[in-house]
Amino acid sequence: MFSEFQPTYDEFLSLTNLSTQPMIPGGAGDGGRSIKRTAEFLNYLGNPEKKMRFIHIAGTSGKGTVAFLIHQMLRKDRQTVGTYISPHTTSYLERFQVNDKLIDPYVLAQCMKDLATAYERYLPNREPLTFFELSTCLALYAFAELKLTWCILESGCGGRYDSTNVIPAPDIAIITNIDKDHMELLGNSLASIASHKAGIMKAKSTVFCGETRPALKKIFTQEAIKKSCALFFVPPPLELKIQPQFGFHMQHNAALAERAGNELDLSPQSISAVLSDFRTLPCRFEMLSEDPLLIIDGAHNPAKIHATVERLRVLGKPIHLIFGCGANKDASLMLKELSKITTSITTTRYRTTYKKASNPLDLQKFVPTAQRGGAYLRYEDAWEAVKNRAKKTDVIVITGSLYLAGEMRGLWVPEQEILENQSSFPL
């Protein structure tokens, strides 16, 4: 059936409507209505979520990396797997990894048409689903149609009320860590955020958690007792799991993925092969060009920015920064951290209109006078200004927002190329 509909590039963009669709998840703050809406539509579709085994991942940082690592381990072990992550960076296709490639665009387009037809029939007299809820349903439907054994789901925001939590008890649930992010939905305290993340625990699941702070570990322990699931805390490793240049936080992500691989009884050879050839997702401290070195990093909260700064510090070179962030982010704290290691900071904004961007001129107020590189409404102009300023031996870094990082990445890796190659990375 998948060969019946083969859209052109422009038709695919029209289907996904990337310029206007909201890319952030809904449901974290609605007390379970998101899961109810998602469950009702999945039931209408024939419950595709009951046709796979699941690994569910929540946490403030590292979710996508852990999901990507486990995906690769399952493939090395010759198992079929689909992984759903969010948000995408440059192309909507990037949310759906199927085995060794991104999902076939024709398959995704056909599944979109199937869902659109079903949704039109389903919707009258029912509450509409959000974009993220529909995307979750699309992932589950497509992976079931492809008859994949495993589905790895990255929770969109929080966990307890996230639409991905519609699934049956997963074989493994992973909670990477807790920090302050999405506080408008998850609450202003770490305890509140932890409670949301803990909600992905389900009876008879095995849960791995990377959190180390006693007060937060207590929250997870209480939830595990309540849900009758096996909870194991995975501390930061004492030995290197991957190459040292990826940073301390990535070592911890690798340790979580390794524990999951062992729990799934994957061969030691499959696990070690993935860790020894460690690869990150797009816009995760991604090096795209040289002379000068260009690094694109989607860090978008103080904790992630701190990890980025620690990796940049060891480069020992002048760093020119292009920074933009959401209007709801703590720009002052992020720029204070970044200014410790940068030569110049140029501010700009992303284009998506769903999530409000900070005004680039306002952002310059948080930059020390000697480091101000100017404010630009168009990120292409920001890039030209910084490129002309930097020497070949310098480093240019784009950070502050995954939306900005993904949009600017398209200057080097166009979406059409991603669709044609079914890969986020240049071939």
- Provide the 8-state DSSP code for 359: P
- Which tokens sit at 267? 């061969």
Residue 22 has a pLDDT of 38
CATH of domain 286-409: 3.90.190.20
- Residue 350 has which token pair? 């992303």
Task: Tell me which residue of 388, 249, 355, 285 sits closest to 25, measured CA to CA.
Answer: 355
Mean pLDDT taken over the chain:
90
Give the per-residue pLDDT at 10: 56
pLDDT at 244: 86
The pair of structure tokens assigned to 337 is: 């951290």
Is the pLDDT at 53 greater than 80, yes or no? yes
Give the integer Cα–Cα distance in Å for 100 and 65. 16
- For residues 285-303, average pLDDT: 92
* Per-residue model confidence (pLDDT) at position 157: 84
Polymer length of the chain: 427
Could you count the other beta carbons within 10 Å of the beta carbon of residue 235? 10
In DSSP terms, 173 is beta-bridged to 56, 207
Domain spanning 2-281: which superfamily? Mur-like, catalytic domain (3.40.1190.10)
Res 427: pLDDT: 74
Residue spans per domain, the chain: 2-281, 286-409
Answer yes or no: is pLDDT of 25 > 60.
no
**CB under 8 Å to 157, separation ≥6 — which residues?**
24, 25, 27, 28, 182, 185, 186
Does the pLDDT at position 93 exceed 60?
yes
Crossing angle between the packed helical segments 33-44 and 105-122, to the nearest 10 degrees: 100
**Burial readout 181-216 (b: 16 or more C-beta within 10 A, e: otherwise):** bbeebbbeebeebbbbbbbbbbeebbbbbbbeeeeb
The SS3 assignment for 222 reads helix
Name which of 16-20, 146-150, 193-197, 369-373 the model is least confident about.
Answer: 16-20
The CA dihedral of 312, 367, 352, 90, to the nearest 10 degrees, is -10
Of 25-34, 99-108, 409-418, give the lowest mean pLDDT range. Answer: 25-34
Return the pLDDT at 6: 53
Residue range 110-140, pLDDT digits in tens: 999 999 999 999 999 899 999 999 999 999 9
- Residue 398's pLDDT is what? 98
Average pLDDT over residues 36-52: 97
Determine the Cα–Cα distance for residues 186 and 72; give it in Å rounded to an integer. Answer: 31
Q: Up-side HSE of residue 357: CA atoms within 13 Å toward CB? A: 23
- Chain segment 216-275, per-residue pLDDT in tens: 999 999 999 999 999 999 999 999 999 888 878 899 999 999 999 999 999 999 999 999
Using a 10 angstrom Cβ sphere, with 0-12 exposed, 13-18 middle and 19 or more buried, the burial of residue 122 is middle
**Degrees (nearest 5) of the Cα angle 13, 14, 19?**
70
Q: Summarize the confidence of residues 391-406 as an average pLDDT.
A: 96
CB proximity list for 366: less than 8 A, separation 6 or greater: 331, 332, 335, 336
pLDDT per residue as tens digits for the range 296-347: 999 998 988 998 999 999 899 999 999 999 998 999 999 999 999 999 999 9
* Predicted model pTM: 0.89
The pLDDT of residue 8:
56
What does the alpha-carbon distance between residue 11 and residue 182 come to, in Å, rounded to a whole number?
33
User: Above 90 in pLDDT, residue 87?
Assistant: no
* 20 pLDDT tier (thresholds 50, 70, 90): very low
Residue-level pLDDT at 2: 44
Q: At what angle do helices 131-145 and 105-122 cross, to 10 degrees?
A: 120
pLDDT on residue 183: 55
Which range (174-188, 204-218, 356-370) has the least confidence? 174-188
Q: How far apart are CA 201 and CA 160, in angstroms?
A: 9
Sheet holding 395-399, edge to edge: 286-289, 293-296, 395-399, 319-323, 344-347, 372-375
Tell me the β-bridge partners of 101. Answer: 98
> What distance in Å separates the CA atoms of residue 174 and residue 152, rounded to the nearest whole number?
11
Q: Is 293 helix (H, G, I), strand (E, B) or coil?
A: strand
